[in-house]
Amino acid sequence: MALIVQKYGGTSVGTVERIQQVAKKIIKHQQAGDDLVIVVSAMSGETNRLVALANELNDRPRGRELDVLLSTGEQVTIALLCMALQQQGINASSFTGSQVRILTDNTHNKARIMEIDDNKIRSALANGHVVVVAGFQGCDKDGNITTLGRGGSDTTAVALAAALKADECQIYTDVDGVYTTDPRVVPEARRLNQVTYEEMLEMASLGAKVLQIRSVEFARNYNVPLRVLSSFIEGGGTLITAEDPTMEKAVISGIAFNRDEAKLTVLGVPDHPGIATQILGPIAKENIEVDMIIQNTGYEGTTDFTFTVHRNDYDSALKVLQKTAESLNAREVTGDNKITKVSVIGVGMRSHAGIANTMFETLANENINISMISTSEIKISVVVDEKYLELAVRSLHTAFNLEKA
């Protein structure tokens, strides 16, 4: 008998009929003999409805009251799902974040889970109940309601699975797993049966559509087997786990990409310690997130410094950088907001040589110029002109044989 944590997102519980579908799914699992803890989100549309009400009353609603308001969304779903289960003769008990006691810090709207009390859940399970927990919410040590931020229900599910030492945490969503790349770009893209936490994290740009990156980190830290499945289509989904040394692995797991990037370069900066902070500090102060960062030696004791930002932040980043460049006596500032980042990801590249070369060669054969390169242990990213995005992804997908299992 396994203990499984399942999470159903907003679309999966978006209507009364869908809640009934979810109840049926749960009952099937229960009949297979598993102990079940179910985490649910607010019915789709509900959070937006509540935020709209808040905005009508306050330009900038405070975090504490916004959390009191938003947490009602999941509270409605847990009650309704229990009712649907009870209608089918299944014992079920609901718990809000405060009731479980999912203790968080007091950062309203994006709180972090500190500790989970598993007492109530364990005793409900011992009584043969399906336990239904509100995702996305908790409470701080003073009993104030907190929320984990959008998508936080995934994190709730993984944290519960960790606290309960569950056998698996299943995330039901509207896609049926993690793919080798975006099927809208490469129709031959294939669902992966298994990826490692690290690969999933590096696939952020692909994975973010599937599940919250934060919940993957959490799963990795506590070694919780995480499975992404579709609420609507039957199938085994994608299992995300620690690396298994006994298993034969594909060298490359997937190709990720970020469409809306922009790059900025400051040329001829005096090369002295602390230069990176001097350049990126003012950028961070403007709340602009930086993605890739590359520093290269320039000539005569100067250095060239390049970084990428989201395209929406390009103009403001450029303004900040020009000021910094002036104060640093840099030679020149350049930029390009029509670029895209393509990454090849796989834990296999640690033990296989020549991956980078295959990647560069493939792009060269297509006459795609690479303007930046950045590597990590299990990922190689290149920046190319945005017009080459599809061509780059497709040719790499073929080059690494990703369409074949």
Q: Is the dihedral of CA 125, 129, 132, 138 positive or negative?
A: negative
* Residue 38 near residue 132 (C-beta atoms within 8 A): yes
Stretch that binds a copy of itself, among 90-98, 286-294, 302-310, 317-325 (CB under 8 A): 90-98
Regarding 169 and contact with a copy of itself (CB under 8 A), the answer is no
Regarding 69 and contact with a copy of itself (CB under 8 A), the answer is yes
Regarding 156 and contact with a copy of itself (CB under 8 A), the answer is no
Regarding 193 and contact with a copy of itself (CB under 8 A), the answer is no
* Residue 35 near residue 1 (C-beta atoms within 8 A): yes
Regarding 96 and contact with a copy of itself (CB under 8 A), the answer is yes
Near a copy of itself by CB under 8 A: residue from 2, 32, 53, 242:
53
Task: Give the residue with the Cβ less far from a copy of itself, 50 or 356.
Answer: 50
Q: Which residues of 263-302 are buried (b: 16+ CB within 10 A; e: fewer)?
A: bbbbbbbeeeeebeeebbebbeeeebebbbeeeeebeeeb
Regarding 298 and contact with a copy of itself (CB under 8 A), the answer is no
Regarding 141 and contact with a copy of itself (CB under 8 A), the answer is no
Residues 6+ apart with CB under 8 A from 112: 104, 105, 148
Query: Checking phi first, is residue 127 left (phi over 0); if not, alpha (psi -120 to 50) or beta?
Result: alpha
Count of C-beta atoms within a 10 Å radius of residue 351: 8
Size of the site for a copy of itself (CB under 8 A): 39
* Residue 374 near residue 395 (C-beta atoms within 8 A): no
> CB of 94: closest distance to a copy of itself in angstroms?
5
Regarding 21 and contact with a copy of itself (CB under 8 A), the answer is no
DSSP 212: -
Give the C-alpha separation, 395 to 401, whole Å. 10
> CB of 233: closest distance to a copy of itself in angstroms?
24
Regarding 80 and contact with a copy of itself (CB under 8 A), the answer is yes
Task: Give the residue with the Cβ less far from a copy of itself, 30 or 308.
Answer: 30
* Contact footprint for a copy of itself (CB under 8 A): 16, 19-20, 50, 53-54, 56-59, 61-62, 64-66, 68-69, 71-72, 75-76, 78-80, 82-84, 86-87, 92-94, 96, 98-99, 120, 143-145
